[in-house]
Chain A
C-alpha cells in the first residue's frame, strides 16, 4: 500500500506523453508546468511520513526512549526511562533533640546525599527520564514532547545524571 505513494512526477510526465512527442523542449515545458504539483506532492509525502512516525510512537517505555533518543541523542542513544525509586530520607534535628548528624569534608570520602521530596517518595512520580549530563536540550521542549505521547495522568521528572 505504501508504494502507491511513490510517484516520480518527472517520469510520469514522460510516460504520459506519446513517445514521438518526447522531445527535450516539450518534456521540459511540461515538467515546468507540473512542478507545483510535484512540490505539493513532496509536502504531502513529508506530512504523511511524519504522521506515520507519530502513530508508531506509543506510551510504552521502549517507544518513548526511541522518540527521545532520535530527537536529542541520535548517535549515542543514552537517554533512558527508569521506574521511580525512593531513597531513605536524611533528617536534620534541632539542638534540643540532641541527635547530631555529621557532614564530612570532601577528603573524608563519606558523602551525604540530600534528596528532594520526589526522590524520597513524598511526592511520587511514575517515571524518571535520565539524560546524560553534557547533552544539550531544551527542557520545555522535551516536556512538551513527553506530554504529547505519555499516558494521561502519569507524572515524571527529567534528571540529568
Chain B
C-alpha cells in the first residue's frame, strides 16, 4: 500500500485532498490508518494511502502541478483559541503583562 509523509500543520483532510483530490476520501484515510478524522497528526509520521481511485482528478492534478501541499490543520494558536485559560494563553497575545 502506498504511503504518505505528514508535513507540518497537515490534518487528515489535507492528506485526502492531496492524495485523492477530494475530502470524500477522508473516511477511507481514517479507516486504513485506524485513526479518527479529527486526530492530530504528527509531522514526519508516515500514513497509509487507501487503495481507491483518485476521486477528483482535476484538483489532484492542479495541486500536483503547482506543487501545493495543503496544510490547514490545527495550529497552536487554534488550540489556544478553542480551549483558552492558563496553559493555553500566550503572553502579549491573549495574556497581557503590564
**Across the interface, which residues of B come within 8 angstroms of A19, CB to CB?**
72, 75, 78
Query: Which residue of chain B is the closest to A18 with respect to CB atoms?
Result: B72
Give A contacts to B, CB under 8 Å. 1, 3-8, 10-12, 14-16, 18-19, 22, 24, 27
Query: Which residue of chain A is the closest to B34 with respect to CB atoms?
Result: A3
Could you list 30 A-B pairs, sorted by A, with CB under 8 Å? Answer: A1-B31, A1-B34, A3-B30, A3-B34, A3-B35, A3-B36, A4-B27, A4-B30, A4-B31, A4-B37, A6-B36, A7-B38, A8-B36, A8-B38, A10-B82, A12-B37, A14-B74, A14-B78, A14-B82, A15-B11, A15-B13, A15-B72, A15-B74, A16-B13, A18-B72, A19-B78, A22-B78, A22-B81, A24-B81, A27-B82
Give B contacts to A, CB under 8 Å. 11, 13, 27, 30-31, 34-39, 72-75, 78, 81-82
Cβ distance B8 to chain A, nearest Cβ, rounded Å: 13
**Across the interface, which residues of B come within 8 angstroms of A11, CB to CB?**
38, 74, 82
Dominant SS at the A interface?
helix
Query: Which residue of chain A is the closest to B71 with respect to CB atoms?
Result: A19
| Contact assessment for A15 and B31 in the assembled complex, using a CB-CB cutoff below 8 Å | no
Cβ distance B6 to chain A, nearest Cβ, rounded Å: 14
Cβ distance A70 to chain B, nearest Cβ, rounded Å: 27
Point out the residue from A1, A7, A14, A27 that lies within 8 Å of B37, measured CB to CB: A7
* C-alpha gap A5/B27 in the complex (Å): 10
**Across the interface, which residues of A come within 8 angstroms of B38, CB to CB?**
6-8, 11-12, 15
Cβ distance B84 to chain A, nearest Cβ, rounded Å: 10
Query: Which residue of chain B is the closest to A12 with respect to CB atoms?
Result: B38
**Across the interface, which residues of B come within 8 angstroms of A1, CB to CB?**
31, 34
* C-alpha gap A12/B78 in the complex (Å): 12
* C-alpha gap A7/B27 in the complex (Å): 11
Given A1-B34, A8-B38, A18-B72, 5 new contacts (CB under 8 A): A1-B31, A3-B34, A3-B36, A4-B37, A19-B72
